[in-house]
């Protein structure tokens, strides 16, 4: 998510993580961190994430790409962002 991004973005993300309590052990830390990452995605990327999480689990990568391409989604860059 932050690979290759400016230091300011890293600092802002760290502040958000600390504020959400994600650096503390236990509880909902993992959920909060995932939610923070999910919230940084664009709408179409969020929909693709949900497709994979809810529908396309276990599918071959190329099959998912063909489905998204058939829906008019330019997915190559978006899939890389999700990884």
pLDDT in tens, the chain (83 residues): 666 677 777 777 777 766 666 555 555 666 777 777 888 888 888 888 888 877 777 788 888 888 888 888 887 777 777 76
* Predicted pLDDT at 26: 54
Rounded Cα distance, 21 and 32, in Å: 8
What's the predicted TM-score (pTM) here? 0.56
Question: At a CB cut-off of 8 Å and minimum separation 6, what does 32 contact?
Answer: 20, 21, 22
* Predicted pLDDT at 61: 80
Question: At a CB cut-off of 8 Å and minimum separation 6, what does 48 contact?
Answer: 68, 73, 75, 78, 79, 82
């Amino acid at each position: 998510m932050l690979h290759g991004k400016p230091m300011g973005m890293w600092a802002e993300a760290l502040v958000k993580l600390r504020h959400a309590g994600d650096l503390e052990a236990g509880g909902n830390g993992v959920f909060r961190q995932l939610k923070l990452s999910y919230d940084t995605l664009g709408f179409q990327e969020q929909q693709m994430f949900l497709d994979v999480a809810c529908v396309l689990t276990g599918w071959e990568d190329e099959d998912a790409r063909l489905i998204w391409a058939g829906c008019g989604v330019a997915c190559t860059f978006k899939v890389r962002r999700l990884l």
